Amino acid sequence: SQQGEEDPQALSIQEGENATMNCSYKTSINNLQWYRQNSGRGLVHLILIRSNEREKHSGRLRVTLDTSKKSSSLLITASRAADTASYFCATDAGGNNRLAFGKGNQVVVIP
Amino acid sequence: NAGVMQNPRHLVRRRGQEARLRCSPMKGHSHVYWYRQLPEEGLKFMVYLQKENIIDESGMPKERFSAEFPKEGPSILRIQQVVRGDSAAYFCASSPPTRTDTQYFGPGTRLTVL
C-alpha cells in the first residue's frame, strides 16, 4: 500500500504567511524525510526526522512527527515566492533503503 | 563535489525502441537507487543497486526493464521495446555506504514515448 500521503494536495498562500502540510503513513518507520521539487526539476532533501524525535528545525522549516498517529507535518514559516514547489514526504517503511513517497503537496506562494 | 548526474535530461523514443538512462552517483557513493515519477504522482521505487550487485529490484516491472551498476562507469537503466506508458520522469539517487538513510537525487531524465 502507498506509504506517505500528504494532505492538503494544493496550497496557495501570500508571501510572508506560513504554510503547513501533513503526511500520514501506515507502517512502522525508522525515519521520515521531506523533499522539495521545483517544477520539472529533481528532488532536494530538506530534512530527516527519526522515529525517536518529535520535532526538528532547519532554518524556516519545522517538522513534527507523531508516531502514535503515524503522521508528520512540515511548516514553512515566513514563506517566500522561491518556496513555490511541490513537497513530498518519504518514509523508509519499504525496507532495504527503499523510500516510499506520497503524492506531494503543491505550494504556490504569491508575491 | 558534483551532485548526482543523469543523462540525458530529456529522451524521446518511438514505441518499440530502446531507452538507456545513465546515472553517475556522487563521488564516494556506492549505493544507487532508481525511481519513476508519473505526472502528478510521487516517486515510485524501482531498484536499488550497489557496485556490480542488484540489492532490491522489487519495484521493477517484470519485463523489458533492467538495471546495472558496473564496477566502472555509471549506472544504467534500460527499457526495451518502450511503450507509451513508459513515459515518465526517471530519477536516480545515491547514498554513501555509511549513511544510507539519506538519498541525494539527480535532476532526472524525462522520457517521452511517441
Q: What single-letter amino acid sits at A10? A: A
Count other Cβ atoms within 10 Å, centred on residue B50: 13
Span B22-49, pLDDT tens digits: 999 999 899 999 999 988 788 999 999 9
Mean pLDDT of B47-67: 94
Residue B61 to residues B47, B64, B67: CA-CA distances in angstroms? 10, 7, 11
**Strand partners of residue B76:** B22, B68
pLDDT at A104 > cutoff 90: no
Residue A104, chain B, CB below 8 Å: the answer is: yes
The alpha carbon of residue A71 is apart from the nearest alpha carbon of chain B, in Å, by 17
Residues of B in contact with A94 (CB under 8 A): 45
Mutate to test the interface with A, among B23, B24, B45, B60 (most CBs of A within 10 A): B45
Evaluated on CA atoms A88, A91, A95, A100, the torsion sign reads: negative
How far, in Å, CA of A20 to CA of B5, rounded? 32
How far, in Å, CA of A5 to CA of A21, rounded? 10
Q: Do A97 and B44 touch (CB under 8 A)?
A: no
pLDDT at B107 > cutoff 90: yes
Residue A103 binned pLDDT confidence (cut-offs 50, 70, 90): confident
pLDDT at A102 > cutoff 60: yes
Span A15-29, pLDDT tens digits: 999 999 999 998 889
How far, in Å, CA of A48 to CA of A21, rounded? 15
Q: Percent of chain A having pLDDT more than 70?
A: 91
In this prediction, residue A2 carries a pLDDT of 30
Q: Do A43 and B101 touch (CB under 8 A)?
A: no
pLDDT at A94 > cutoff 90: no
Q: Are B34 and B58 in contact (CB under 8 A)?
A: no
3-state helix, strand, coil in chain A (%, to 5): 5, 55, 45
* Pairing status of strand A61-66 against strand A55-58: antiparallel
pLDDT at A1 > cutoff 50: no
Higher pLDDT, A94 or A44: A44
Residue A43, chain B, CB below 8 Å: the answer is: yes
Q: Do B95 and A96 touch (CB under 8 A)?
A: no
